[in-house]
Chain A
Amino acid sequence: MAGWWRRHPAHRRYMLREASALFLAAYALVLLAGLVALLRGEAAYAAWRAMLATPWSVALHALALLFVGYHALTWFQVMPKTMPPLPVAPRHITNAGLLLSALLSLALLAAVWVAGA
């Protein structure tokens, strides 16, 4: 079984999916470092922001964005398989209902945004 994941495209995609989580974790660590820098004062925060603006950092973030995008895509593919059956009958789930709930969510978001501004 050594090297099993190299033998089939589906297994390679699976390993890529799992590995893409590392970029997600790395990005979380970068954000965490920013929070620590914020705690330590203005100079540290400015230094952290300057570090983000370096070409190496921008390239790394572009790469991370690519992998996080792939991770999000696979998340949508995999999540439905892990969800328990809905407690409501399928006939109650209609396109109109989904659209309505999406519009209500957007209205709520807009309301919070306007209230906060």
Chain B
Amino acid sequence: MTAATRTIAIQCLRYHPQTDSAPHWQTWDLPFSDDMSLLQGLQHIKDELDGSLSFRWSCRMAICGSCGMMVNGTPQLACHVFLRDLWPGPVRVAPLAHFPVLRDLVVDQGAFLDALEAVRPWLVPVRERSLDDGPHRQTPQQLARFLDQAQCINCLLCHAACPQVGLDAGFVGPAALALVQRYNADSRDQGPAARRDVLNAAQGVWACTLVGACSQVCPKGVDPARAINQNKLASTLDYLGLRPRPRRPDTP
């Protein structure tokens, strides 16, 4: 980090469940340099100004998906936005929308984790394979069918951006539904039948009204709006009894 040359006001929504009856705003004047991310700014606040500030972070490089928060009303990864781009501020930092707040910027992801488990985000193999079968090969074309969706880091920015998630707590949500597409489109997977009930439900793909905010905020280019709305066609065909044939077991 180079020497701090400017200061910016950080307004942060604070909440401590044991001492606060409601969240409240707290402001710090933060000295920053041009190469500092918002996450580094929050780390400076925690290290130098107020050690009680709580937030999640790990990798500092938009890979772990831990530091998602509302930055001036838009969900962003704190490590993925420079303070110089937010200057002159003030910057309003709040926990991710549509999630219960545990403390300060830390939210309870429980509802998402339940939805994630419900869509079986793992390979359901076409047939049981042993180590003797060797690697499970795919052509580059087969990989390209789901590679975009496989970039998801579960940062939940899309859930915070989606008004339908906020309006309907039972909505499976963009991240989990994008992962349905990621595994359903995988040539090694035979799970679409097992994911069908979650996908076709009123709170599955049909709760999406194609606002498109999920795809705009995604830091990894997953495009959940596309993943969800492609499945509306599949869901309709399924409703009409026109299910695609299951994949044939491939030869090792």
Contacts and interface: CB of A to CB of B under 8 A. Distances in A.
A83 B212 CA distance: 14
Contacts, number: 47
A82 interface: yes
A81 interface: yes
A7 B225 CA distance: 21
B42 interface: no
Given A7-B73, A84-B230, A85-B145, A1 B216 contact: no
B163 A11 contact: yes
B-side interface mostly: helix
Interface string B158-172: 000101001100000
B229 A10 contact: no
Given A78-B212, A89-B141, A5 B163 contact: yes
A100 B226 CA distance: 28
Given A8-B74, A10-B216, A84 B233 contact: yes
B223 A81 contact: yes
B212 A81 contact: yes
A4 B233 contact: no
A8 B214 CA distance: 13
B210 A78 contact: yes
A75 B163 CA distance: 20
A14 B167 contact: no
A41 interface: no
Interface of B: 73-74, 141, 145, 161, 163, 166-167, 210-213, 215-216, 223, 225-226, 229-230, 232-234
Closest 5 pairs (CB-CB, A-B): A81-B226, A82-B229, A14-B211, A1-B166, A10-B213
